[in-house]
Amino acid sequence: MKWIMVVAGIIFLSACANESSKNEGATPRPENSAPLAYAAKPVSNLFAPWLVLRDRDVADARSFDAAIHKEGVPVASEISRVAQKNDEGRSLVVDIWKGTNMGVPPPMLKKRSPGLQHAVTLAGEFAASRGAQARIAVFVSEADKPLVRKWLESGLAKGRGQYPTELQWKGLKKGDLPFLRIEPADPLYAFGPFSN
């Protein structure tokens, strides 16, 4: 009986050794690692998710600008470099998207240009895909408002964000050029709780 127990123990230990040699150099699975190592320091890293959203906003704004330029529509995104402190108090320089201005050229609007329609639709989709609620301030004449609203709403419906987009319709003074302004609805969104 003793001999059977010894053989069973040897087989068990060799099986364990073979299993561990397969994973040599691999990252240990969570169930095999020591959970107490993580309990020593509470995880309060709010900076990393904030930074991921800001990086996505900047990348999306640059892609949006490139797509709108292809349609022949003037566009400019405001991207600033600012110093922010992370959770450990270290200062980092990060790019922040503050907003985007897109022209609505009157000749293109008058002709109901497909390029302008596509650009305005993309503006709605871009705004509706932000990591927080966005606002679109629309500066067009009352006569053009229904058409621009239709184009914008088409884009808003395609957005992949989880927040509703705020639309603000602004009057246009004589001689002013029509344009759209897309920006975070909350001015602190861009700078977050880490502002210096």
CATH match of 47-194 with 3.30.1330: yes
Tell me the whole-structure pTM to 2 decimals.
0.67
For the segment 33-84, what is each residue's pLDDT rounded down to a tens digit? 334 333 333 334 555 555 667 778 888 889 999 999 999 999 999 888 877 7
Q: Which two tokens stand for residue 135?
A: 């606002």
Query: Is the pLDDT score of 30 beyond 90?
Result: no
Question: What residue spans define the domains of the chain?
Answer: 47-194
What's the mean pLDDT in 90-97? 80
